[in-house]
């Protein structure tokens, strides 16, 4: 890395002072190696995004994402943060852009009131070997079956598989103390990149609380996880806890870490009213 690789730290999805998920953003990263990129993520201890020229005329930029342990196909909050920073610096060719990622093309929208990115229609799958998988999940979270809400556990994805675990209350969610030594093994067994327990906070207002425990990112918990929130929104739609034409789904995360965050998810429907995907977004600011 040379002196030209300035690192800007932004806080994404912040919901009040000290909130949001930090994201190091590195612009003009075209001559950086994968090892250099991962070293930055390891130094900062957060998902980091690297902005490169587009691979072809179908996109405006190419983004790469690293956590301390490996490269990721897609990272929602880092994408939102990078678009916001590019907009603040006047480096967007237009307010609506297309970004090439390892998970495919992601659309982005920039406005002074916030940034949104697109995600495809979510996929939901029941757990393999349901009884055994549920027992393993409860064990790693340190709870028993009475802590669960009367709803299914899903493996859900828009860009990466997250396991949606419905809990009976926000108090139970806040009190979780997982066994992180078991996290990677359990996620491998169920085909997930992280556990995403959630609870209903205010169903009428579309507010839900969640926590994200990643499989093997190099840190135990995320303050805000856009991809997981998008997957959760489709799970909530399937469970009829939200509707496609109502208010945006508001997913609160990070409070247990002292980093309150809020991710907003809007469903996108075609002319016939069928849901085709979603837009996720929220507030971004420079990190202190």
In a domain, 255, yes or no: yes
Q: Which of 69, 103, 119 is the last residue of a domain?
A: 119
pLDDT (0 to 100) of residue 247: 81
Residues 111 and 221 in one domain: no
Question: Does residue 2 lie in a domain region?
Answer: no
Q: How far is CA 213 from CA 102, 122, 139, 261, in A?
A: 22, 20, 14, 15
1 is a domain residue: no
* pLDDT digits 0-9 by tens, 230-274: 999 999 999 999 999 868 999 999 999 999 999 999 999 998 889
- Domain assignment present for 224: yes
pTM of the complete model: 0.93
Cβ atoms 134, 163 nearer than 8 A: no
Q: Kindly report which listed range (14-18, 78-82, 144-148) carries the lowest average pLDDT score.
A: 14-18
Burial of 134 (0-12, 13-18, 19+ CB in 10 A): middle
Parent domain of 257: 123-282
- Using CA atoms, how far apart are residues 136 and 201, in angstroms rounded to an integer? 26
CATH code of residue 14 = 3.10.310.10
In a domain, 110, yes or no: yes
Q: Which of 99, 119, 139 is the last residue of a domain?
A: 119
The arithmetic mean of pLDDT across residues 130-151, rounded, is: 97
DSSP character at residue 12: E
User: Which pLDDT does position 172 carry in this prediction?
Assistant: 98
- In order of 93, 100, 164, 178, 229, the CA distances from 157 in angstroms are 30, 19, 10, 22, 10
Q: Which two tokens stand for residue 102?
A: 């390892």
Q: Are residues 128 and 258 in the same domain?
A: yes
Residue 287 belongs to a domain: no
Give domain status of residue 189, yes or no.
Answer: yes
Q: Are residues 186 and 85 in the same domain?
A: no
Question: Does residue 61 share a domain with residue 176?
Answer: no
pLDDT at 4: 59
- Beta strands 261-269 and 249-253 are antiparallel
Separation CA 119–CA 276 (nearest Å)? 9
Q: How many domains does the chain have?
A: 2
């Amino acid at each position: 890395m040379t002196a030209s690789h300035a690192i800007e730290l932004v806080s994404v999805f912040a919901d009040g002072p000290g909130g949001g998920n930090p994201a190091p953003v590195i612009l003009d990263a075209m001559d950086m190696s994968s090892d250099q990129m991962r070293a930055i993520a390891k130094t900062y201890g957060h998902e980091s995004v690297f902005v490169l020229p587009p691979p072809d005329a179908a996109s405006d930029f190419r983004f790469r994402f690293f956590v301390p342990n490996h490269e990721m196909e897609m990272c929602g909050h880092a994408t939102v943060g990078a678009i916001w920073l590019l907009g603040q610096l006047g480096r967007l060719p237009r307010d609506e852009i297309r970004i090439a990622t390892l998970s495919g093309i992601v659309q982005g929208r920039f406005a002074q009131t916030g940034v949104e990115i697109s995600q495809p229609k979510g996929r939901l799958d029941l757990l393999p070997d349901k009884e055994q998988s549920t027992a393993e999940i409860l064990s790693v979270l340190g709870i028993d079956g009475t802590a669960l809400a009367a709803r299914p556990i899903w493996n859900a994805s828009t860009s990466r598989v997250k396991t949606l675990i419905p809990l009976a209350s926000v108090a139970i969610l806040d009190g979780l103390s997982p066994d992180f030594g078991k996290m990677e093994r359990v996620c491998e067994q169920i085909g997930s990149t992280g556990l995403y327990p959630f609870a209903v906070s205010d169903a009428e207002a579309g507010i839900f609380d969640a926590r994200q425990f990643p499989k093997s990112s190099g840190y135990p918990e995320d303050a805000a996880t856009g991809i997981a929130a998008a997957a959760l929104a489709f799970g909530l739609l399937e469970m009829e806890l939200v509707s496609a034409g109502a208010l945006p789904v508001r997913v609160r995360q990070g409070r247990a870490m002292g980093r309150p965050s809020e991710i907003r998810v809007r469903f996108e429907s075609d002319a016939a009213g069928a849901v085709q995907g979603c837009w996720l977004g929220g507030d971004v600011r420079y990190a202190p």
